[in-house]
Amino acid sequence: METTLRGVGVSHGVAIGEVRHMGTAVLEPPAKQIPAEEAEREQGRARQAVEAVAADLIARGNLAGGEAQHVLEAQAMMAQDPELMADVERRIAVGSTAERGVYDAFAAYRALLANAGEYLAGRVADLDDVRNRIVARLLGVPMPGVPDSDEPYVLIARDLAPADTALLDPALVLGFVTEEGGPTSHSAILARALGVPAVVALPGAGELAEGTVIAVDGSTGEIFVEPNAEKRAEMESAAAARKAALSASSGPGATSDGHKVPLLANVGGPGDVPAAVEAGAEGVGLFRTEFLFLDDSKRAPSEEKQVAAYRAVLEAFPEGRVVVRVLDAGADKPLDFLTPADEPNPALGVRGLRSLLDHPDVLRTQLTALAKAAQGLPVHLEVMAPMVADRADAKAFADACREAGLRAKFGAMVEIPSAALRARSILREVEFLSLGTNDLAQYTFAADRQVGAVSRLQDPWQPALLDLVALSAEAARAEGRSCGVCGEAASDPLLACVLTGLGVTSLSMGAASIPYVRATLAKYTLAQCERAAAAARAADSAEEARVAAQGVLSGE
């Protein structure tokens, strides 16, 4: 009998296939004591395992490229964390085996994160994966992971570690469903990059029996268990129609009545550029520069290294617009040379622009490198600061850009509610705004973007979040400035229409989402988008907002 379940759809598309479950977690190693004379040998085993796991994560990142590479390099840094390693060695010195020392040290760090109010709970899944990989290597057992199968299947897991998600084979893994996670979790972001339909935050997903046939709608978040022939045909027909619409859609982003909405790509480095170009991106709306700084947490990359990396991206979009975000360190991206190590709530501490203003030499080097990278190129370079709170922040950033001799537009990201509320004030200092809806939702609702239990508050359809988007767009229009969206919200085709109706002037997303958004925008007029936006803002919940907007656009 067909039943319907609902989670959070995070990656477009339809998948129909048999359930296969992710391998179970590594068993807890036995707590046996070792003689003191074996401690040094066990410490050496632990160090070797850590280095091997870190090297494997980096290798997987190099294979995957793009956003996945950034995530996996961050995991490798986690594996090599000197404080964690020191704790492992202390535990071995008092009698633990290497595997038990690793297990207990990671458990203690995990508890520390939980006691900090789960601001870093999004890193717990990554931490568990690193621990499991090290322990499995020490025990000499295979690392549990994606099941072996000769036939395509739908993968079910409690959560997916980045190292597994990054190397999924779309030819075999038709889609995936997880019990935990949220729309901005690592697994969701990587699923969109891979173009694999995905649903997260589905309680009880693990209870679906192996071999059960399910149909996954990555757009609506619906899961149909044992769908009948009629339901299968309906979903397959809808998927075929969507694919045909994508193939027919090309050119710049615009509504059906010709209102231009440039569709830009989010990139994490030169490796993401080919996919962006192939998708028809009109430029880059978010160039994340953290990938350069994660190679070595002890020191910033040289100016020469930065120039080469930036120029590789700028050259790919001649005459196009490239918006670069300066280093956004802190919170879940700590860097030893930049961010404090003892903050109780790192997400609310010295991160983003705050870190850079505390280390003006790092900011100056990056801005100088960007200026040199753009020399002689016809590209329209724009540079923006993350985590701008007020006009003083915006002024400090603009002053730093001018002092570095940067010939570009200077902008501010709107990720803190105060920036949306005082957007006109901020625009007295900078020339454009870019809404980072992931962090803006996190700070608006006090809901960590990586915690599945509060994923409903991370839903970008939340009317309160739409209100802040509207405030920012209205301020930009009043000042004659542009206001784009570069958060995950832009990758939702229906929401892209609503954002356009709110007055957003450009949309930036992962390359895989651009064709979906382009095709959907082209179906509606600006007036329809504006009516859909008004209906969504008048709702009282994210689901009501989504339904209201859909009703307006479908003429119901």
The amino acid that residue 411 corresponds to is G
Backbone torsions φ then ψ of 250, nearest 5 degrees: -155, 170
- Give the contacts of 374 (CB within 8 A, at least 6 positions apart): 310, 311, 314, 381, 407, 408
Active-site residue, selected from the candidate residues 70, 186, 359, 529: 186
- The answer to whether the CB of 219 falls within 8 A of the CB of 13 is yes
Give the three-state DSSP class for 450: coil
φ/ψ region of 340 (left if φ > 0, alpha if ψ in -120 to 50, else beta) reads beta
DSSP per position, 180-249: S--TTSHHHHHHHHHT--EEE--TTGGGSPTT-EEEEETTT-EEEES--HHHHHHHHHHHHHHHHHHHH-
- CA 371 – CA 311 distance, rounded (Å): 10
| Beta-bridge mates of residue 8 | 200
Among the listed residues 401, 483, 486, 497, the single catalytic one is 486
Closest CA to 57 of 68, 70, 73: 73
Residue 372 CA to residue 73 CA, distance in Å, equals: 27
Beta-bridge partner residues of 11: 198
* Residues 350/358, Cβ–Cβ less than 8 Å: yes
**Other CB atoms within 10 Å distance of the CB of residue 394:** 25
The amino acid that residue 195 corresponds to is G
- 486 catalytic, yes or no? yes
DSSP state of 512: G
Task: Tell me, yes or no, if 186 is annotated catalytic.
Answer: yes
- CB–CB of 198/11 below 8 Å? yes
Phi, psi at residue 72, to the nearest 5°? -70, -35
277 touches 53 (CB < 8 A) = no
**Residues forming the active site:** 186, 486
